[in-house]
Structure 1
Amino acid sequence: MASLLPTHPLLLHHPTGSALAAVPSGCFRQPSSFNPALSSIHRTKAGFSSSQHELASPADFEFEAPLKVLKYPDQKLRKKNKRIATFDDSTKKLVHEMFDVMYKTDGIGLSAPQVGVNVQLMVFNPVGERGEGEEIVLINPKVRKYSMNRTLYNEGCLSFPGINADVKRPESVKIDARDVNGMRFSISLSGLPARIFQHEFDHLEGILFFERMTDEVLDSIRAQLQALEMKYEEMTGFPSPEKIESRRRRKVATGFGKSKPLR
């Protein structure tokens, strides 16, 4: 796989001595033999098609620091996330705070809805260590193509503490997005970065990772999901906004709708 291009504006580059071997287990478990990389990063003038997502207003960026990661079954994890049209200090502040809480919770990726800000923004660093690896910011991402090859991977999620299970996803994806300054670009991801992107992209679409699991895998974590639902009820005094039992037959197919498979 090609190495990451550290000069791309959406990346905050930090020198690192080794490949992505020291990824914390807070978000994904990484096999020692895995050697992920980003590839084919380049600028593009291609236009973006109209989106069904509403545009975010300044009020949508209001939050109190430090941010906290919302836990399942918080309703904000299911809300529609608005597209960002204004790229200013509020956007940069949100990015900064998201990286901060991601590192403090031993994550390698985080989406804005996971911290209660329902906008189309994600951050990640496959190394998962502050000052190392590549800090990646994707705003209003849209999947253009994806690999026909799928792989199983043991995923975790900061919104599902203590839960890890296998999820099958495409090995690589091609994405259109904007950077923190609003510049449009195209990027191709493979390996672990592609996996992280797809997990966080699902969050931006209101999809949670257990919805991409097989029935057998879902059954193996069903009791843990029910425990989170009960904890939510105990903490809030309200019924859980969703129950895993009522979603038994709701599954999300692997892939990205109208996106084209990579050939």
Structure 2
Amino acid sequence: MACKTWLHSFSFVPILHRRSSTLPAMSHLLTRSSQSGRLFSSSANRPSPPRPPPTTPVHAQAKRGFSSKNDDVAVATPEDVRFEAPLKIVEYPDPILRAKNKRIDSFDDNLQKLVHEMFDVMYKTDGIGLSAPQVGINVQLMVFNPVGERGEGEEIVLVNPRVYKYSKKMVLFNEGCLSFPGIYADVVRPETVKIDARDIKGARFTVSLSDLPARVFQHEFDHLQGILFFDRMSDEVLDSIRTELQALEKKYEEKTGLASPERIETRQRKKAAAGFGKS
């Protein structure tokens, strides 16, 4: 996620489980400081919210053997990955958040610089996860650190991630998103997910995620598919943040002088999207 969350005293024990050894560490690419980062909210430290109805829309259905190939996605050019620092968070309803994101095939110094800058803006905006489209770059790249503190935990870089399989067990959790400042609401997602991806040097690996890392990954992966976290909310939950979403639409119009590219008041309910947005 370019997600936010209240971690408070969230108990986070295994961060990642990998087929062999540990996930590739990327901390050597980054400077260290004491900036803090937050993404999601642990239900252990707040009153339990009412559970959504059994028909919560846009549930991901458990599916085995989901393709890890990405051959149907356009390849990013050097121009697609070019950026100017400092990066800025793209807020809803900017159409960048709904655009298609290209596959990365060039694992060069510019990609390393982009990763560095993404971690920097993530920490500075109190995030624990961030996807490239959230900083205006439509490529398949995400970074996250479930601990949310620079110099603590493990900084993870996933390039061209794909989903292998995910659990039937679904978990309710209070999510936030850097592209939706100040907005938090409950989202139901699979408890565990198995993925494959490439690291910052282009090496492919497979990893199984659970608990908070699985939640962060799914939120950020949705961004790479052009899916926003309110797309996965029940009608009841969505109604609770409708006013805030309308305020962001108005803010966009006042800032750009353009009509909002989407409006929550006229939004059609999206059907369940198998494979995290892949039909």
For 1:106, the equivalent position in structure 2 comes to 126
Residue 251 of structure 1 deviates from its aligned partner by 4.5
Structure 2 CA distance for partners of 1:221 and 1:2, relative to 1, 3 Å: closer
Where do 5+ consecutive residues of structure 1 fail to align? 15-22, 34-46
For 1:118, the equivalent position in structure 2 comes to 138
Q: Is 1:168–1:254's contact at 8 Å kept on the other side of the alignment?
A: no
Residue 52 of structure 1 deviates from its aligned partner by 2.0
Structure 2 CA distance for partners of 1:229 and 1:199, relative to 1, 3 Å: same
Deviation digits for residues 17-48 of structure 1 (CA, Å, limit 9, x no counterpart): xxxxxx854x3112457xxxxxxxxxxxxx95
Q: 2:200 aligns with which of 159, 175, 180?
A: 180
User: Does 1:94 find its partner at 2:114?
Assistant: yes
More moved, 167-176 vs 249-258:
249-258
Query: How far apart are the structure 1 equivalents of 2:15 and 2:225?
Result: 29
Deviation digits for residues 123-165 of structure 1 (CA, Å, limit 9, x no counterpart): 0000111111110000000000001000000000000000000
Q: Is 1:212–1:254's contact at 8 Å kept on the other side of the alignment?
A: no
Letter in 2 for 1:88: D
Query: How far apart are the structure 1 equivalents of 2:23 and 2:170?
Result: 30
Residue 191 of structure 1 deviates from its aligned partner by 0.2
User: Does 1:29 find its partner at 2:41?
Assistant: yes
Where do 5+ consecutive residues of structure 2 fail to align? 1-12, 29-35, 46-66
Q: 1:229 aligns with which of 230, 244, 249?
A: 249
Residue 4 of structure 1 deviates from its aligned partner by 4.4
Q: Is 1:81–1:205's contact at 8 Å kept on the other side of the alignment?
A: yes
Q: Is 1:151–1:171's contact at 8 Å kept on the other side of the alignment?
A: yes
Structure 2 CA distance for partners of 1:232 and 1:248, relative to 1, 3 Å: same
Residue 13 of structure 1 deviates from its aligned partner by 5.7
User: Does 1:60 find its partner at 2:80?
Assistant: yes
Q: Is 1:9–1:179's contact at 8 Å kept on the other side of the alignment?
A: no
Q: Normalising by the residue count of structure 1, what TM-score does the alignment of the two structures yield?
A: 0.84
For 1:11, the equivalent position in structure 2 comes to 25
Q: Normalising by the residue count of structure 2, what TM-score does the alignment of the two structures yield?
A: 0.79
Structure 2 CA distance for partners of 1:220 and 1:255, relative to 1, 3 Å: farther
Letter in 1 for 2:40: F
Residue 12 of structure 1 deviates from its aligned partner by 3.4
Structure with the higher fraction of residues in strand conformation: 1
Letter in 2 for 1:110: L
Residue 211 of structure 1 deviates from its aligned partner by 0.3
For 1:246, the equivalent position in structure 2 comes to 266
